[in-house]
Every structure is written in structure tokens, then in C-alpha cells.
Chain A
Amino acid sequence: MEIIAQYGSVFLIMACLFGFFMAWGIGANDVANAMGTSVGSRALTIKQAILIAMIFEFLGAYLAGGEVTSTIRKGIIDPQVMEDQPQLMVYGMMSALLAAGTWLLIASMKGWPVSTTHSIVGAIVGFASVGIAVDAVNWGKVGGIVASWVVSPVLAGTISFGLFMSVKKFILDTDDPFSRAKKYIPIYMWMVGFMISMVTMLKGLKHVGLDLDLGLGSKFANAIPVSALVGLLVAFFGAMLLRNIKDDQDPDNRFASVERVFAILMVFTACSMAFAHGSNDVANAVGPLAAIVSTVQSGGEIAAKSVMPWWILLIGGLGIVIGLATYGWKVITTVGRKITELTPSRGFAAELGAAATVVTASATGLPISTTHTLVGAVLGVGFARGIAALNLRVIGNIFMSWVITLPAGAGLAILFFFLFKGIFNP
């Protein structure tokens, strides 16, 4: 208790710095994967992609990021084990942030495939099991998280496969794909609006302080009609945008105009992807920070119930935006240049499949890897014979990133944990 009273403000400042560092890393590297598909398929320019990322990453984090944040903050470790020594929680979360941030920096300089989620989860499990006690880790929950890492790419792949098959059947393989595209694409836009609205209604509105009750019984039942209406508005807005697209008959590529219709749809799915990414990945930086802040502010009580102060999210959001502005745009451009094979009719299916999966995981509080989910989604489109060439070595890389990132994050966190303990403990 005395340690926290003595060093409280030092801890706060350090935690904010580390949290910001981590958020910067997410903005610089991770967002590129979420937005790269849209830039690669030329649905968005780099500037538009960054603007969408800034707005929707923040909205996603703020409106739907609560569950994952709380998992990172108090789901993986059992706070009760540390009740007598709350400073251990502070050291641990600071070392987790620093470890994950450092690891991300090293790995991305070396060009290794890494996941922010895996780094932070590995780091937290590492400091808790070695630095405190093996029992301090909520192994059941960790097992569930690890399982979700396998399930999420498969689920995203399945959804994308279905979406692309529906596009094939209802739009591409018809006599007049262009007018079919104009007719059916608003339905996919509706899905985007409905999905984001559902998650916001179920998970976000209580943050904002709004409570909607149509008297339909459950919260879920209340959210459905409202979300359906929001979806309709989105679809209507999208249909207005589609009206300006003209069919110019290009004899070399009969599908060029159809793809331009899909490019408009991709603006919407890009928003949903940024929203999904914000809802899941911002928690990696914000969760540990929130744990530290609530411990320090309550004077050492590891308060599992306290509300998260709004400015913590602001730090996370700001870090991501600055990461994007300073370095992320470069990575987005590189990623975008490499994936030009992904045309809008495929890119949208991959993005929507991934976004739906990520958003669902966020709503259930599971921290998953957006990048791996997106890879699963792209493979799903590939299995529907939609992509010219996919490099299956990436799947190997993903397994490598599991094998390397988890112990690396854990090892670094353990190192930093004992370092902090040595510095601050009397």
C-alpha cells in the first residue's frame, strides 16, 4: 500500500507512456492489415483509408471495446491473488505493456509476423505465472482465448466463403452483372450497418450513458429493430452513392464497371473493419493501462468493479492515430501494393467476414488477432476460387508467430517485472 501511495504519480506517468507506446505500435503496424485490403483493391486512397481508420478505430474502441479491455484488465489474471500486494499488479501490467511494445518494435523491424494480441496475452500470462504464482492465472479463461485464436480465422473464412459464393451466384454469374450489382449490393451494406449497430447497442451505449428500451423484453430483442433501421439507413445512403456509377462498356474487361460498384461497398466494409479492429485491438494497450490506473487511483485496492476513466481510451485512441500518422501510412501503402490481386468484389467479402468475426469476439470479450482473422477470411474467398494465387506459407508463418510471440512476450514481461520490482520494492 505504501509503495503505491509513495510512487502513485510516477506509476501513472509511466503507465501512460507505456500504454501510449503500445498504442503507437498498434497504429503504426497493426492497422495496416485492417486497412491494407481496401487500399490494395483501390477502393480507397491512402488518405481516405487513414481518415476512416482514425474515425472508426476510435469509435470501435469507445463503443465496443469495453469487453476485451476488461478481459485483458482482469480476466486473464485473478486480481484476488494480489490483494495484499497491489503494487505487483502495477509492476506486472507496466511490464506487460513495455514487453509487448518492445517485442512489437523488434519483430516489425525484423519483419517477423507478429500479433499485438498474442504479445500482450503472452506478456500478462508470463508475468503472472512466473512473477506471482501459477495460480494467479485464470487458466480456464486463457484456454478459451487460445481456442478462439484457432476458431476465429476458421469462422471468418467460412463467412467470407459464403459471402463470396453469394456474390458469384446473385451478381457475377448472371446476364447483367452490373445492374444486379447495383440491386444487391445495398443488402450487403445493410449487413454492415446492422452488425455495427447491434454491437454498439449491446455493448456501447452504456458507456455513452444512453439506455434504450422499447419494452421488447431482452436487451437483444430491443436492439434488433433499431439496428435493422440503422442498417436500412446505411443501405439507403449506399444506394444513393451507387446511383452515380455508370456502366461504361469496357471490352477488355467486362467486369470493370461491376468492380467499381463493389469499390463503393468496400468503403463501407472498410469502416466496419476499422471499427472491429478498434473494438478488439485497442484493448491491448488500454486494458493494462486501465488496470494500473484503477489500482493506483483507488489507493491500492484492486477494484474489479471501478469504471474506466474516459481519458484512458483517449490515450489509446490518440496513440493509434499518431502511430498511423507517423508510420502507419507507410505500412498501409506497402501492404496495399502487395495485394493488388484482391479486387473489390473479393476484398469486401474478406473484410466483412473478418469484421463480423472480430466484432463478435469483441462483444464476448475475447482478444483475438485481427490480422490472423483477416488471413482466414481471405483464404475463405480463395477456397471459393476467387483469388488467383495465395501463398500458403503464410499459414506456417502464423503458427511461427504463435510459437515465437507467446514465449517472447512472456519472457520480456518477466524480465521487466523483476526489474520494476527491484527498483520500487524497498
Chain B
Amino acid sequence: MAGRNTLGSLFGRSPIGPIQEHMQVAFEAAEHLPELVQASADEDWNRAKEIYKAIIESEKNADKMKRDVRRHLPKSLFLPVPRSDLLVLVGIQDQVANTAQDFASILMGRDMRFPEKLAPAVHELTQTSVACCGQALAAIQELDELLEVGFSGREVKRVEAMLNELDKLERRTDKQQFNLRRKLFKLEDELHPVDVMFYYRATALLGSLADCAEKVGDHLQILLAK
């Protein structure tokens, strides 16, 4: 007799928790990058391989979770925020994991090791980019609190403050990326041209990782806009 019950079937699965978990996993993929860069600087390729594996694993999980979130958001659900915005949001979150993996695979594919003179700048940029992702995750973690207050008032302001912080971090990565490129430009003559090409590629990917994090924040803000 326990089959369908009118009241029981009224409640759909909340997308909030799964979206937060998805961002968590996407962040975990990015979180490994500073370690990976360090391992390549130390030329500890065994360690690097392990880290790379972990990144691929996280990216794969994120993909699976993305599909799962989308599958559980049928049109018949009535949500406190637009359904289409949530669907797009998971896609953008997924880009964080994808970009992290792209960077890692360039590094691993070419046994890439940044020149000594660039190492501090590369580290700095990696750290800040990952910090952007961390800040985006922290903002996404506020989704359940936002739901608790019905997506209004003080909690929205709180999240907006977090997003401002995210913007600041992203601007910092822009600056760091520019400085890194200047340094690289000055070293170009000393380096192998193909290496230089890929140094630029890798640097750009670190920059887009921060961009992705910022886009997650942007989209969260669209979600909150009335």
C-alpha cells in the first residue's frame, strides 16, 4: 500500500545539495594544481603522475555528477530559482574541473618544467587561480543558507560580498598573468620556441581557470537577481 502518496510525491529531490557537491568535486580537481606544479619543478614525475591521476578522477566524477544533477531537474519541478539558470550553473562549474585537467595534461604530456626564473610567478598565479575556485566554492556553499531564507535579504548581501572578493582575486590573477608573460617574453630568446609556445598555453589556462571561477560567481549572482 505504500506506493505513491499524494503528499509524498509532492516533494522533488532538492538540486541544491548535489550542485554544492558538484562544485566541491570540481574544486578538488583544481586544488591539486599547486602540488602538481611543485612536483614538476622538483622533477618528481612519479608524484606528478599520482596527482594527475587524482585530477582526472575528480574531473570524471564532476562530469558524472553534472549529468546526475541535470537528470534530476525535470521540467515539472517547481524551484525557488529558474531551472534553466541551475542547469547552466552546473555546466559552468564543470568548466572549472575541465580547465584544471587541461592544464595538468599539458604539463604531463610534455614533462613540462617552467624555467627557474619563472617558477615564483607561476606558483603565485597557480595559487591565486585556485584561491578563486575556492572562493567560488565558498559562495556556492551558501546556496543552502540562501534557500533557508528564501533567496532574499541579508543572506543575498552576504553572498554578494563574497562575490566581490572573488572578483578581486580574479583581477589579481589577470595582473599576475600579465607579469608572468612579460617575464616569459624577456626569456624567449634563451628558450626552445616550442616550449615557449606551451608555456604561454599553460599560463593562459591558469588564467581561464580563474575566469571559470568568476563565471560561477557571476551565474550565482544571476540566480539571486530578482
Contact = CB atoms under 8 A, between A and B. Distances in A.
Given A168-B153, A341-B11, A33 B76 contact: no
A401 B6 contact: yes
A25 B149 CA distance: 39
Contact of A334 (B5, B10, B149, B152): B5
A173 B7 contact: no
Given A172-B149, A173-B154, A343-B148, A391 B5 contact: no
B78 interface: yes
B9 A397 contact: yes
A306 B11 CA distance: 45
A250 B216 CA distance: 26
6 contacts: A36-B8, A108-B1, A111-B3, A255-B148, A341-B12, A397-B9
A254 B151 CA distance: 15
Contacts of B149: 168, 172-173, 255
Contacts of B144: 253
Contact of A371 (B6, B15, B145, B155): B6
A253 to B, nearest CB: 7
Contact of A32 (B5, B150, B153): B5
A233 interface: no
A374 interface: yes
A398 B6 contact: yes
B85 to A, nearest CB: 13
A204 interface: no
Interface stretch (A70-78, A274-282, A379-387, A411-419): A379-387
* Chain A contact surface mostly: helix
Contacts of A108: 1, 3
A255 B153 CA distance: 15
B22 to A, nearest CB: 15
B222 interface: no
B16 A331 contact: no
B109 interface: no
B2 interface: yes
A379 B77 CA distance: 12
Contacts of A37: 7
Q: Please name the 6 residue pairs, one residue from A and one from B, whose CB atoms are nearest each other, closest first.
A: A111-B3, A388-B14, A173-B153, A389-B12, A385-B80, A338-B8
Interface in B153-168: 153-155
A401 to B, nearest CB: 7
Nearest to A378: B10
Nearest to B149: A172
Interface centre among A28, A110, A391, A393, by most chain B C-beta atoms within 10 angstroms, is: A391
A111 B4 contact: yes
A384 B150 contact: yes
B75 to A, nearest CB: 9
Nearest to A330: B2
Contacts of A202: none
Contact of A389 (B1, B4, B77, B150): B77
A110 B3 contact: yes
Contact of A392 (B1, B13, B78, B153): B78
A339 interface: yes
A164 interface: yes
Contacts of B81: 385
Contact of A391 (B16, B77, B145, B155): B77
A112 B4 contact: yes
A29 interface: yes
A15 B10 CA distance: 36
Contact of A335 (B7, B76, B145, B154): B7
B187 interface: no
A392 B7 CA distance: 11
B148 A390 contact: no
Interface string A319-340: 0000000010011001100111
A341 B5 contact: no
Contact of A173 (B5, B6, B80, B152): B152
B147 interface: yes
Nearest to A393: B76
B88 interface: no
A382 B11 CA distance: 10
A342 B80 CA distance: 14
Interface in B1-51: 1-16
A326 to B, nearest CB: 11
B7 A385 contact: no
A341 B79 CA distance: 12
Contacts of A150: none
A109 interface: yes
Contact of B10 (A29, A32, A253, A394): A394
Contact of B151 (A32, A374, A385, A397): A385
Contacts of B9: 113, 338, 391, 393-394, 397
Contact of A29 (B1, B11, B145): B1
A289 B1 CA distance: 26
A364 B35 CA distance: 72
Contacts of A36: 5, 7-8
A257 to B, nearest CB: 12
A289 B143 CA distance: 53
A397 B6 contact: yes
Contacts of B6: 33, 113, 371-372, 375, 394, 397-398, 401
Contacts of B12: 341, 388-391
Contacts of A32: 5, 7
A331 B3 CA distance: 9
Nearest to A113: B6
A385 B152 contact: yes
